[in-house]
Amino acid sequence: MDSLLPYLLDWANMLLRWLHLIVGIAWIGSSFYFVWLDNSLTAPKDEKLKSLGVSGELWAVHGGGFYNPQKYLLAPAELPQNLHWFYWESYSTWLSGFALFCIAYLLSPSIMLVDKNVFQMSAPVAILAALGYLVAGWFVYDAICRLFGVGDDADKKVAVSLILYVGIAAWVACHLFAGRAAFLMTGAMIATIMSANVLVWIIPGQRKVIASMKRGESPDPIHGQRGKQRSVHNTYFTLPVLFAMLSNHYSGLYNAPDNWLVLILVMAGGALIRHFFVSRHKQAPSLTALALGVTLIGIAAWKAAPAPVGITSPTATPTLAQVETIINERCVSCHNAQMASKNIRLDGPDRIQSQLPLIHQQVVVTRLMPINNSTAITEEERLKIDLWFKSQ
């Protein structure tokens, strides 16, 4: 029974991750499609279309058929019978992502969220801090959009405030949580904003437009404008969020000394690259945005490069007994008969010997273990494991 729960949780983790990826593709895919469509429309030439209120149209060929989408300025005169809505793509992405976050991080707060070298907090405090970070993220963002989203240059003022805000939020996460969690949570916070934009503004705005049409009134353009503002933000958030979601595979980035700077640089690079694609759809590709985006990511790569390790190197190949001492001290507390994290036990020389490549991978190559270096393994000990591995 003892080992059944971790096993089932591992399955839940895998299934939720799979689902999250699939629905995420559906959401981002349809969002990319509509941004492309909106920016690729041309004014109709046909007088009949113009008189119907069509402001832009496009011809496309795909999968053996010809498609001719048309965009109405505000709305068509009569509401179509069959109207397709897009919201489950977004909601299911958030729901599956949040469930995965609960299993992978909130269930083991002291291992996954807390790194005592970054900030010491108890498990309940860490859970509250993580949830608070997600919730506060939305309220601060929404307040920024409401406060600065009026008057002259509203879009520019909101954009500059949001860039500053995301930068500060990334810094805060990296100074509160273990690196891996900090990167993921910055992404999850922005993704929560994106989904809440759909739930709180975009879809209700569309419902209000339809309700006023049904009453025979002409819809208030504010709903369309606000929906548009929030969807533009969502577009620029996509690439940064996807990087943050993938970052947990790259310990060299989230464990870099100035990890907050690496996170900010790569996310800013992603947003600029997204801008290049949006401008390209409008037939005016901004190569400056592309060059700047690539440069920022280049600077991140330079910032995260590992410093040469200045160890007075132990050249003699260590014995298995020496390696066993290191493993006993640094690993066995989490990998033993009672607690076999990820179903791995490292108690006893035979188990160490037979899992040598795995140990080497985790300790020397990816440096993921010990998690957040909670057992304070030294560089010299990592080097010993490396030498021992190479001698086998």
* Closer residue to ligand HEC in complex, CB, 129/346: 346
* The binder of ligand HEC chosen from 20, 230, 233, 335 (CB under 6 A): 335
**Tokens 């004014």, located at residue:** 43
Burial of 323 (0-12, 13-18, 19+ CB in 10 A): buried
- The closest alpha carbon to 179, from 383, 374, 342, 377, belongs to 374
**Contact criterion met (CB below 8 Å) for 184 and 106:** no
Q: Does 360 bind ligand HEC (CB under 6 A)?
A: no
Residue 98 carries which side chain, given as an amino acid letter? F
Structure-token match 């809505």, residue found:
85
Interface with ligand HEC: number of residues (CB under 6 A): 20
- Nearest Cα neighbor of 166 from 183, 149, 147, 148 is 183
Q: Which residue has the tokens 């014995």?
A: 319
| Amino acid occupying residue 54 | V
Quick one: which of 262, 363, 384, 388 contacts ligand HEC (CB under 6 A)? Answer: 363
Nearer to ligand HEC, 274 or 330 (CB): 330
Q: Which of 275, 323, 370, 388 binds ligand HEC (CB under 6 A)?
A: 370
Nearer to ligand HEC, 263 or 334 (CB): 334
Q: How far apart are the first and last CA of the chain?
A: 37
Whether the upstream peptide bond of residue 370 has omega within 30° of 0, thus cis, is: yes
Interaction residues for ligand HEC, span 302-321 (CB under 6 A):
none
* Interacting span for ligand HEC (CB under 6 A) from 270-278, 284-292, 296-304, 342-350: 342-350
Complex with ligand HEC: residue 322 or 333, whichever CB lies closer: 333
Q: x-or-dash pattern for ligand HEC, window 170-209, by CB under 6 A?
A: ----------------------------------------
The one segment of 21-29, 113-121, 216-224, 364-372 that binds ligand HEC by CB under 6 A: 364-372
| Min separation Cβ 24 and ligand HEC, Å | 20
* Distances from the Cα of 235 to the Cα of 27, 183, 247, angstroms: 11, 20, 20
Residue 111 found at the interface with ligand HEC (CB under 6 A): yes
Distances (CA, A) of 40 to 73, 228, 282: 15, 16, 6
Asked if residue 114 binds ligand HEC (CB under 6 A), the reply is no
Q: Which of 90, 92, 206, 362 touches ligand HEC by CB under 6 A?
A: 362
Q: Rounded to an integer, what distance in angstroms lies between the CA atom of residue 16 and that of residue 10?
A: 10
* Binding footprint of ligand HEC on the chain (CB under 6 A): 111, 330-331, 333-335, 341-342, 344, 346, 358-359, 362-363, 369-371, 374-375, 377
